[in-house]
Structure 1
Amino acid sequence: MLEIMERAIISLLHGAPTHCSHTASTNLSPSSLTSSPVKKFILFQSNLYKSRKTRIAATVGGDNGVPTLTPSQTDFVERPGKQRLATIVGGSAVGALLLVIIAVLVFIYLLRAKRFVRRTSETESSAASTHVDCPRENGSRQAGTVSSYETQNLRQLTIAELEHATSHFSQINVVGEGGFGIVYKGLLQDGSIVAIKRRVHEPSLSFIYEVENIGHIHHKHTVRLIGYCQESHQQLLVYEYLPNGNVGNHLYDSEGFPIGKLDIGKRLSIALGTARGLEYLHSLEPPLLHMHFQTSNVLVDENFAAKVSDFGISKLVEEGNWAGSSSSIDCFLDPELRLKTEFSEKSDVYSFGVFLLELLSGHEASSIDQSGALRNLVAQACCPNVKAKDIHVLESLVDKALLGKAEFPVKLMMELVVICVGSGERRPTMKWLVAVLELIQERRMDHVHTGLGKEIDSVTLGSELFK
């Protein structure tokens, strides 16, 4: 068909006759066709047909028989570079967008998880601890409620929080000073009133280790560690706050003389609570030795229930840096340690005996008397000429506020003093002391309530009471 049309067009251009009508052939001369618009149109169509013919011929193949591509295939081959580039760019954009979306979702999840953990930690820290009975080896009856060994409530506080709690460690908030450092009263953001012990010290891993060990301890008659901080070249320990301070504040004045505020009932209760606290520490595996026990380390709450403090921090305090808030630590140290390098439970028992002596006498263990001479209560009580049966000599050391009101508890407790500060081999255990103090309290309560309590004159190591 195309060839026929082509021949017709050529014949028209050269004046050749065709099968067309005679009228048309006579009217269209070669000269007129050459110059007319019709000729131009015919030439355009001819060129168009030739172009199409060439392309169509390509579909069949060349003379060599090698098949060639069709126009549609040619178009497909000519475009793949652009299509692949567009596909790669589009895929990369989608992948990048997905990565951004995933990263945003992960960030939001982690942020929410962090907030949840922080809120949970703060809630658990501010909530009261759950008390459960924990069986212990060599534990005494009525030794107090003990919690399981967990540190989940131990909080790691920041220096900014503690500065805010103490008004930037204002002197107004200072409530004492001990071996670890100055003690401040503070108010945390959750409303908890705490005691904060602060010292300047380089950071160390041993501090964290010892603090976590202390955080395991929770007993009715021990002061609970709430949190800690090691920051800005400072180490801080945060304890529960006991409003009545240490026992020494209720026994003697600033010069170490009796003020007679506590009756025998409170003193006996304080002695028993303190003994239970130390007995619990010694019952742990391995035993936890206090090593620097003294009267200033016995705190009392609003009901005058005694709690032992500063246990477990002896390894944090270098020797020679201990300072008592109201009495010299030297009077409480076992003198036999100068011959024996190892500290033992019996050394804590010696310190407890000195504590009992202060509790009964109302005097500071080491003080300056009215004549200006140094007075050492332990030396007086343990004079070679004084024995357990010489109770009249020991009575001269007793607080006058107690004389004539409750003689038998005072006498028995004074004999416990002599036993505790005596020879290390004959010193009792804290478990034994708890049992004896419990019996003394029971006999006293019987005497108070019925008036028929059996009077006990004196007690020796061989008596039924001390078995």
Structure 2
Amino acid sequence: MGNCLGSSGKVDTAQISHATSGSRVPKFSIRTERSSAPSSLTIQSFSDKSNASSEILSSPNLKALTFNELKNSTRNFHPDSFLGEGRFGYVFKGWIDEYTCSAAKPGSGMAIAVKKLKSERFQGHKKWLTEVNYIGQLHHPNLIKLIGYCLEGENRLLVYEFMPKGSLENHLFKRGPQGPQSLSWEIRIKVAIGAARGLCFLHEAKPHEFNAKISDHGPSKAAAAREYVTTGRVTTKNDVYSFGVLLLELLSGRRAINRTKVGTEQILVNWAKPYLGDKKQLFRIMDTNLKGQYPQKGAYMIATLALKCLSTEAKFRPKMGEVLVTLEQLVNLKMTHFVF
């Protein structure tokens, strides 16, 4: 999982995250990936510079930054600036001037998250180019903003808005100095609704298919939809399945995969699925860190929704629009303790 706690769920091409900044309430982001690069692109090698610049689509809000600017903004990619590692790159925190985009001193200017592509060739460049050309054209309150990019020689970097409070993983799964951290029921539902809004936008924005990922490492086959494991083909129905896994994580406070568990409990879907449709047994999978502070009817609605999203047959899974309507009913029916 990736980077954020703020006012609405965000779908991110870099990480899943939520962040609290000032008066902002939880913000959430899910990594997305288009199934393939635009068909018009022909990429011969990672270092082939002849057509690389011309392959980048123009966008008024997307800035081209130099490698030196990003190097200086992250203090030469200093270990203290390191935020995390994904399948395609390393992410560092940096600071730039909001208007000139030149490097700024830490704590001044605008904080950014800089993803530095690993030294992979075709696949890495293809993925990088897809993110620049597609995400660079999209703007929505529930999408983490792609600010700019760097294309110089072998260097491929992406620059995103920075989400200040770390990852959903940190808040939901990891223990702090005073014991386990816990997100309230209200925050968990707000995270789910925001993420659903972002995915709905992506599904409706273009006739392309996406993959919602729980982390920057790509979907683990042990927690992915069956048809994805079998074919490797990314579809909107895969997204819905992945969103079902996310709902289970929010309900249970458990990771999608946990090798420290024994047997069936290692895979969250396998362990939780038998309890999702049973009101009397649902308590067995609920996060004990919630200390019972959640509406039982609301929890059952989420569990039932997760069960539909996790249908083995893709055709039986709901569309993300239907998922969002169901989640928003939790608010309308006052099954949470907050109002949007």
Q: Distance in 1 between matches of 2:316 and 2:126?
A: 40
Q: Check if 1:239 corresponds to 2:129.
A: no
Match for residue 183 of structure 1 among 91, 99, 102: 91
Q: Which amino acid aligns with 1:212?
A: N
Q: Which residue of 2 aligns with 1:293?
A: 213
Question: Aligned-pair distance for 1:430?
Answer: 0.3
Q: Distance in 2 between matches of 1:449 and 1:396?
A: 25
For structure 2, the residue ranges without an aligned partner over 5 or more in a row are 1-56, 99-108
Q: Summarize deviations over 1:144-201 as a string: whole Å, max 9, x none.
A: xxxxx98201011111000100000001100111222111000013322100011234
Question: Aligned-pair distance for 1:373?
Answer: 8.7
Q: Which amino acid aligns with 2:79?
A: Q
Q: Which residue of 2 aligns with 1:200?
A: 118
Q: Which residue of 2 aligns with 1:414?
A: 303
Q: Structure 1 residues 226 and 429, CA, compared in 2 at 3 Å: closer, same or farther?
A: same
Q: Distance in 1 between matches of 2:338 and 2:175?
A: 36
Q: Which amino acid aligns with 2:322?
A: W
Q: 3-state DSSP class of the match of 2:315?
A: helix
User: Equivalent pairs: percent with the same residue?
Assistant: 33
Paired residues for 1:250-289 under 5 Å: 250-253=171-174, 259-289=180-210
RMSD (Å) for aligned C-alpha atoms: 2.9
Match for residue 399 of structure 1 among 287, 301, 313: 287
Q: Summarize deviations over 1:191-250 as a string: whole Å, max 9, x none.
A: 221000112345968844651221011111111100011224121110000102221111
TM-score (norm 1): 0.52
Match for residue 316 of structure 2 among 426, 432, 436: 426
Q: Distance in 2 between matches of 1:189 and 1:171?
A: 22
Question: Aligned-pair distance for 1:376?
Answer: 1.2
Q: Distance in 2 between matches of 1:377 and 1:168?
A: 39
Q: Distance in 2 between matches of 1:277 and 1:205?
A: 23
Question: Aligned-pair distance for 1:394?
Answer: 3.2
Match for residue 230 of structure 1 among 138, 151, 156: 151
Q: Check if 1:336 corresponds to 2:256.
A: no
Q: Distance in 2 between matches of 1:292 and 1:428?
A: 15
Q: Distance in 1 between matches of 2:311 and 2:236?
A: 14
1:222 and 1:277 in contact (8 A); partners too: yes
Paired residues for 1:308-319 under 5 Å: none
Q: Which residue of 1 aligns with 2:237?
A: 346
Q: Which residue of 2 aligns with 1:465?
A: none
Q: Distance in 1 between matches of 2:146 and 2:175?
A: 28
Q: Summarize deviations over 1:324-363 as a string: whole Å, max 9, x none.
A: 6xxx733442122244453321110000000111111111
Q: Distance in 2 between matches of 1:372 and 1:181?
A: 33
Q: Which residue of 2 aligns with 1:173?
A: 81
Paired residue total: 266
Q: 3-state DSSP class of the match of 1:444?
A: coil
Q: Which residue of 2 aligns with 1:47?
A: none
Q: Which residue of 1 aligns with 2:139?
A: 218
1:225 and 1:238 in contact (8 A); partners too: yes
Q: Summarize deviations over 1:267-301 as a string: whole Å, max 9, x none.
A: 00000000000111001121441x2511x46xxxx
Q: Which amino acid aligns with 2:310?
A: V
2:223 and 2:269 in contact (8 A); partners too: no
Q: Which amino acid aligns with 2:286?
A: V
Q: Distance in 2 between matches of 1:329 and 1:259?
A: 25
Q: Structure 1 residues 344 and 196, CA, compared in 2 at 3 Å: closer, same or farther?
A: same
Q: 3-state DSSP class of the match of 1:366?
A: coil
Q: Distance in 2 between matches of 1:220 and 1:390?
A: 36
Deviates more, 1:184-193 or 1:368-377: 368-377
Q: 3-state DSSP class of the match of 2:83?
A: strand
Per chain length, whose mean CA-contact separation is higher, i.e. which structure has more relative contact order (CA < 8 Å, sep 6+)? 2
* Bigger helix share: 1
Q: Structure 1 residues 387 and 426, CA, compared in 2 at 3 Å: closer, same or farther?
A: farther
Question: Aligned-pair distance for 1:261?
Answer: 1.6
Q: Which residue of 1 aligns with 2:70?
A: 162
Match for residue 326 of structure 2 among 415, 436, 440: 436
Greater gyration radius? 1
TM-score (norm 2): 0.70
Paired residues for 1:27-42 under 5 Å: none
Q: Distance in 1 between matches of 2:128 and 2:231?
A: 27
Q: Distance in 1 between matches of 2:235 and 2:128?
A: 23
Q: Structure 1 residues 175 and 449, CA, compared in 2 at 3 Å: closer, same or farther?
A: closer
Q: Distance in 2 between matches of 1:150 and 1:393?
A: 54
Q: Distance in 2 between matches of 1:269 and 1:242?
A: 16
* Bigger strand share: 2
Q: Distance in 1 between matches of 2:261 and 2:276?
A: 28
Q: Which amino acid aligns with 2:292?
A: G
Q: Which residue of 2 aligns with 1:364?
A: 255
Q: Distance in 1 between matches of 2:269 and 2:153?
A: 43
For structure 1, the residue ranges without an aligned partner over 5 or more in a row are 1-148, 298-322, 451-467
